Amino acid sequence: MLDLAIVILNFNTRDYLRRCLTSIYASRGDFAFDVCMVDNASSDGSADMVRAEFPQVQVIQSQVNGGFPYGNNLGLRAYGFGQETAQAAKSQPRYALMLNPDTVLPPDALAMMLDFMTSHPQAGAAGPKLVLEDGSLDLACRRGFPTPQVSFYHMVGLSKLFPRHPTFARYNLTYLDPDQVAEVDSVVGAFMLMRREAIQQVGLLDEEFFMYGEDLDWAYRSMQAGWKVYYNPAVTVLHVKRAASRYSRRAQREFYRAMLIFYYKHYAHSTPPWLHWLVVAGINVQAGRLRLQQALAGGDGGQPRNDLARSG
């Protein structure tokens, strides 16, 4: 049985993708893995590069850029996930890894993460310590759920003013030691290792999201199903971040749309009316401010892009 299926969603990041795949195939450890690269309608020849230089990689070319969950679900379905038949269940690997093409893995990363999942059987998902090119921590690699309270503290800046406070800093969990294993609400989709049984129970990513929020949503649903999510800093992975969307204005706007989707899906039904309108108004004010800034800056706002970097 296949131990690990790695799904890499790519959008015009050919050179980063090459480096990522090279690091994957330099991995050490006693486990069997397979790689599926899903190309979200790139125009830079990414798929041709993979076929020429990494013929062992399964390539799926989407004719449309349907977003982060759409593309990753294509890859997960290629390994039988999301199908309820007994035959499909037999073909599913023990674990699935959603991995961004702008990451670089050390040789022991995959083996150590798989060992971690084995030693934590209650873990539905886990992620490593992600560091940026300057060596700083990618804050999105461990997250708290954006409850109305947590989102408010983040939007008004209290999380930045009090980064060590366990109440105000729950958005990025900056009060936690970055070098200690921790049970967290969510890890980021740039490197999210998921257990087969958790995917079978929770399902695939919600394609109502285009980018942002779908990893949080999956982690939230897994928590409701009784699974745990862990941050494992014993493994450190380089993450360039925003390689596919650093110039995309849509990526910025989608952040606020994702906040509304997540809120309505998980919190609106239990939020008092007075707080509900404050939450919705606050998100819309922030989104309106962004649209105004973009309008004043001019330009066409860029083409729709898939944020492969999962910034938080």
Q: From 211, 232, 255, select the one nearest 9 (Cα to Cα).
A: 211
Q: How many residues does the chain have?
A: 312
pLDDT in tens, the chain (312 residues): 899 999 999 999 999 999 999 999 999 999 999 999 999 999 999 999 999 999 999 999 999 999 999 999 999 999 999 987 666 777 799 999 999 999 999 999 999 999 999 999 999 999 999 999 999 999 999 999 999 999 889 888 999 999 999 999 999 999 999 999 999 999 999 999 999 999 999 999 999 999 899 999 999 999 999 999 999 999 999 999 765 544 467 777 788 899 999 999 999 999 899 888 888 888 888 878 877 887 787 754 444 333 343 333
Closest listed residue to residue 71, CA positions, set 150, 16, 21, 7 = 7
Instruction: Please answer whether residues 312 and 184 qualify as being in contact, where contact means their C-beta atoms are separated by less than 8 angstroms.
Output: no
Strands 228-239 and 123-131: parallel
Q: What are the backbone angles phi and psi of residue 43, rounded to the nearest 5°?
A: -120, 10
Tokens of 256: 């606020």
DSSP labels, 114-164: HHHHHH-TTEEEEEEEEE-TTS-B-GGGSB----HHHHHHHHTTHHHH-TT
d(Cα 310, Cα 155) in Å, to the nearest integer?
18
Residues forming a β-bridge with 192: 98
- Tens digits of residue pLDDT in 215-255: 999 999 999 999 999 999 999 999 997 655 444 677 777 88
Beta strands in the chain (DSSP E): 4-10, 33-40, 58-62, 95-99, 103-104, 123-131, 182-184, 191-195, 228-239
| Residues sharing a CB contact under 8 Å with residue 223, sequence separation 6 or more, in sequence order | 185, 229
Q: What is the pTM of this model?
A: 0.90
- Pick from 296, 206, 297: nearest CA to 257: 206
